Structure 1
Amino acid sequence: MGSKDDKPEGSGFFSSLSSSVKFWGTAVQKSVNGLLGYEGLEVINPDGGTEDAEDEAHKGRWKKEERDGYWRMMQKYIGADITSMVTLPVMIFEPMTMIQKMAELMEYCHLLNLADETDDPYMRLVYTSSWAISVYFAYQRTWKPFNPILGETYEMVNHEGITFISEQVSHHPPMSAGHAENEHFVYDITSKLKTKFLGNSVEVYPLGRTRVKLKKAGVVLDLVPPLTKVNNLIFGRTWVDSPGEMIMTNLTTGDKVVLYFQPCGWLGRGRYEVDGYVYDAAEEPKILMTGKWNTSMSYQPCDGDGEPLPGTELKEIWRVAATPDNDKFQFTHFAHKINSFDTAPKNLLASDSRLRPDRYALELGDLSKSGSEKSTLEEKQRSEKKHRESSGDQFTPKWFDLSGEISPTPWGDLEVYEYNGRYSEHRASVDNSDTIEVIDVKSIKFSPWQYPDLD
């Protein structure tokens, strides 16, 4: 993984910007040891300087007694991967699961439609990389999604003509797989998040493989995103940054786009900024791209030195949609659609995330019931695992198969799951049948279980 500092400098469009990034460095950090009595704890304020670290440390969502108790519980995990921890309090959760969150990348999937329709191979990468950037506005939410139960699924229809299905295919390690398709594209992902807890922050490594096939264009694209860091988990106001490099490669032609997510600097300088180039297969720049991942992206044709071509102008390619005012969980309108039964297909699978009682209770604001339901689900998942192991059984996903392919990533190798096509057959049989009784989706009991009758 690279950074802005790794980029060759010269007289190009971003040379002066590169110098400023080196000057400002990364966001202000200061140990609050001695201020609050905690050894080596860092608070990172994206908006201020070192002198206000103590004030920043006292801000955030936690009351003092909750904050101190949570710190005592979590400090033993410093340096560890906390991806699959199940003991976290529901007060830090949002009413959505990780496999629902995978579907948020579909909000601006019209950009993939446009990529498939264009005959310009470089604009194809402008559209597709802008689509990949668009989800970061939603990913800056500071609430944690629920970890999916093994076998849990999420289905979505009624958006840009797509059918979306995701499934939790492994519990240890936690892995999810997703598939979306419409007349223009096929989207496939295997996701295996890896984290590193640093005390008051956590680094999230997107150990996954994302592939997009554009049907008319006949090309396959591969995406490698940057890591994400969640700052001030316990002390201070929680905020998210994704410094580093995003690369999208056209595996068919060799063209690629390399975009640099700048780290947040002093007094917030550089926060959200993204810039880079679309390159041809010979690594000559063709189009420059610039913008902010929380606002918009623009592009402009350039010469071999990366300078804008005379007679051209910067044109906007994507802009974030309006969002609800004062939303408790910082949800977008599309995130609410993801949770809604309005985007659910007929005869929703009983394993769907919408039906989780802990998620639904949290959505209604009942934290006590949410916590109780979460504990019940986790206990049943442990019972299933014990029964499966004692019976010599293995869990087998319904909609995805382990391919046997091992995909390298910047953060480790990944076992790839492939969509097996059975969900499309299932959905077609339900949608086209006149004999299958249509069930009120809200009456369906959540059941992702391999052994549904196990107490």
Structure 2
Amino acid sequence: MGIVPRVRQMIQPLSDCCLPDDSGDDDEETASPADKSELHNTIKSLSLKLDDLSTCNDLIAKHGAALQRSLNELDGLRIPYESSEKLKAVNERATLFRITSNAMINACRDFLELAETHSRKWQRALQYEQEQRVHLEETIEQLAKQHNSLERAFRSAPGRAANPTKSFSEGSFLTSKGEDSEEDEDTEYFDAMEDSTSFITVITEAKEDRKAEGGTTGPVDWTSSENVLDGASLVPKEPPKVKRRTCIPDKPNYSLNLWSIMKNCIGRELSKIPMPVNFNEPLSMLQRLTEDLEYHHLLDKAVHCTSSVEQMCLVAAFSVSSYSTTVHRIAKPFNPMLGETFELDRLDEMGLRSLCEQVSHHPPAAAHYVFSKNGWSLWQEITISSKFRGKYLSIMPLGAIHLEFQASGNHYVWRKSTSTVHNIIVGKLWIDQTGDIEIVNHKTKDRCQLKFLPYSYFSKEVARKVTGVVSDGQGKAHYVLSGSWDEQMECAKIVQSSPSSPSLDGKQKTVYQTLPAKLLWKKYPLPENAENMYYFSELALTLNEHEEGVAPTDSRLRPDQRLMEKGHWDEANTEKQRLEEKQRVSRRRRLEACSRGCGSEDAEKEADTYMPLWFEKRLDPLTGEMACVYKGGYWEAKEKQEWHMCPNIF
């Protein structure tokens, strides 16, 4: 068998085995048909080169034989002595050339044999990996079914709570290892959480501990704080001055196999998995970010606190309240288009104005700025990092949240916890919040350590429990916080603290003697028929309501999201594909424009450096990170209705 046919025989199996999966990226187009075409072009080019090599080999053999024959003919002629010596020299050179050519051909043959041997090994290894992948998929699916069966058996076991189903379908918690843990999920599930908190609280009568209070709690007067902290969340909701909608069309009953889409995407970024709108809710991520302001009155109350540690309690309650909307919300929001915005202009109703802009697409990042006429402002840039880990999705918001009170100058900074969506393969989806949050007042150095307890089947703790301690700049604890991220938060003033006796495993906790707890925040009840409206809260129902005068890039004007809200999911999927392709074309245009103005090595990097319209990158002096902050101009443009600078993204 010749060299070329043998090499071509090696190439073909590899070309059949190495084609990438058809799981695309909605911007970078990784593993797309373009990649397959590139692979086929490479194989075609290699085959052409092999044809050239074959032609050269034939020519060398043909001309080499002709040359040898000519030299032999010349050698038989009678020629002068001088010419005979020259002919002899030429004959010797031709012989050396023939020997060298033969050596080259032999070396090529040896190389080919070695390549064939390794090629078979590569093919066997590739085949083995493919079989292992199929086996792993089947194993994961089987484990998920067994997990679901155990879950159902546990629910029906005697001695459980009256309504344990709620704990499984709605409750959640992973481990305190955080989002970086790569251990098996079942290990995390059954991790006992008996010693989940690092302190013990003992409630004492106020009269007994007034005497002990003087040397342990500092200048904070509990009686004066009652006006601010007690019942802080029980502010009656005033009727809105602008009539807002109270319902949206019911969610259609479409069934779709999530595992069929997700099984090829294990370990990938969630934002790079092309998902149909069937798994979405009719809100964008920018609107979900704005929804964190539902309990803004906690910050309005915090403005009037004279004590920074009291104010910290309300700020901590506000940070926890933002998760209350997630307990039933298993559908993912729409990934915003690059340059998409969302405004919430509620100065009269809520006393605030909010603006969000999608400032990056990969990784997805949104900048947010809120101004309240009640004396506070909030800003953040949140980047969503998400991974599909087989049976659950881990969603890690990255970026710092800033909150500043104008009168006192108190500046609070914290970061969000990790969200996890469980039962991706089999069973009812449920969401968990887990991890630690540290809130720091950078003016007074007060701190609040919040712990979101992971859910465990065998834990005695309440599901979705949150605990925390508020300390001053000297590290002295003043308040204990407790509650759940889906219902309410309370705070109790510490009057005395002491170390406990070491436990059997050598661990030691701090015992806090506290006064009776005060309610800080309580979740509003969901609207009627919420289960058929994606479990939206009253505020969420109004976020996608059509409003006049907003920017042409506002999420309310996004056509696929609007079609989905109306129940036209097929048309929404078609429109979503059109918008994503339009976004890819815009990115390619930026790449081409950059390649003409900069070096080819920097073109790809520069093309992804999108310049936001209403925000700009600055160095955050408190965190040392670069973050997008509001640079102004949006509300002035809205007042004048001058939107010529806005990109055409829809």
TM-score if structure 1 supplies the norm length? 0.78
Aligned residues with identical type, % of pairs: 26
Partner residue, 2:259: 71
Following superposition, the deviation at residue 252 of structure 1 comes to 0.8
Following superposition, the deviation at residue 135 of structure 1 comes to 1.4
Q: Does 1:180 align with 2:180?
A: no
Residue 335 of structure 1 is aligned with which of 540, 554, 564? 540
Q: Distance in 1 between matches of 2:649 and 2:138?
A: 52
Q: Which amino acid aligns with 1:232?
A: N
Residue 475 of structure 2 is aligned with which of 270, 276, 283? 283
- Structure 1: runs of 5 or more not aligned: 1-32, 431-435, 438-443
Residue 223 of structure 1 is aligned with which of 411, 414, 438? 414
Partner residue, 2:29: none
Contact 1:224 1:246 in 2 (8 A): yes
Q: Distance in 2 between matches of 1:197 and 1:301?
A: 42
Partner residue, 2:492: 300
Partner residue, 1:354: 556
Partner residue, 2:593: 391
Partner residue, 1:369: 571
CA-atom RMSD in angstroms: 3.3
Runs of 4 or more above 4 Å deviation: 33-37, 39-53, 404-408
Following superposition, the deviation at residue 200 of structure 1 comes to 2.1
Residue 425 of structure 1 is aligned with which of 604, 616, 636? 636
Q: Which amino acid aligns with 2:402?
A: R
Q: Distance in 2 between matches of 1:319 and 1:80?
A: 37
Partner residue, 2:297: 110
Partner SS, residue 266 of structure 1: coil
1:52/1:130 CA distance change after superposition, 3 Å: closer
Q: Distance in 1 between matches of 2:560 and 2:277?
A: 9
Partner residue, 2:627: 416
Q: Distance in 2 between matches of 1:297 and 1:262?
A: 14
1:48/1:234 CA distance change after superposition, 3 Å: closer
1:43/1:390 CA distance change after superposition, 3 Å: farther
Following superposition, the deviation at residue 405 of structure 1 comes to 4.6
Larger Rg belongs to: 2
Deviations 1:128-148 (A, max 9, x none): 111111111112310000000
Q: Which amino acid aligns with 1:164?
A: S
1:79/1:36 CA distance change after superposition, 3 Å: closer
Following superposition, the deviation at residue 296 of structure 1 comes to 0.9
TM-score if structure 2 supplies the norm length? 0.55
Partner residue, 2:350: 160
Following superposition, the deviation at residue 219 of structure 1 comes to 1.0
Q: Distance in 1 between matches of 2:622 and 2:474?
A: 24
Partner SS, residue 166 of structure 1: strand
Q: Distance in 2 between matches of 1:128 and 1:47?
A: 40
User: Which protein is richer in strand relative to its size?
Assistant: 1
1:137/1:256 CA distance change after superposition, 3 Å: same
Partner residue, 1:90: 277
Contact 1:48 1:267 in 2 (8 A): no
User: Which protein is richer in helix relative to its size?
Assistant: 2
Partner residue, 2:141: 38
Q: Which amino acid aligns with 2:556?
A: R
Deviations 1:384-442 (A, max 9, x none): 1111211227632111001145986xxxx964111112224324x43xxxxx69xxxxx
Q: Does 1:208 align with 2:399?
A: yes
Contact 2:619 2:625 in 1 (8 A): no
Deviations 1:252-276 (A, max 9, x none): 1100111111111216853111111
Q: Distance in 2 between matches of 1:43 and 1:420?
A: 54
Partner residue, 1:324: 527
Q: Distance in 1 between matches of 2:338 and 2:137?
A: 44
Q: Which amino acid aligns with 1:166?
A: C
Following superposition, the deviation at residue 325 of structure 1 comes to 2.9
Partner SS, residue 278 of structure 1: strand
What pairs with 1:132-151 in structure 2 (closer than 5 Å)? Answer: 132-140=319-327, 141-151=329-339
Contact 1:112 1:127 in 2 (8 A): yes
Q: Distance in 2 between matches of 1:416 and 1:92?
A: 30
Q: Which amino acid aligns with 2:405?
A: L
Q: Distance in 2 between matches of 1:191 and 1:84?
A: 17
Q: Distance in 2 between matches of 1:255 and 1:175?
A: 29
Equivalent pairs counted in the alignment come to 391
Q: Which amino acid aligns with 2:280?
A: F
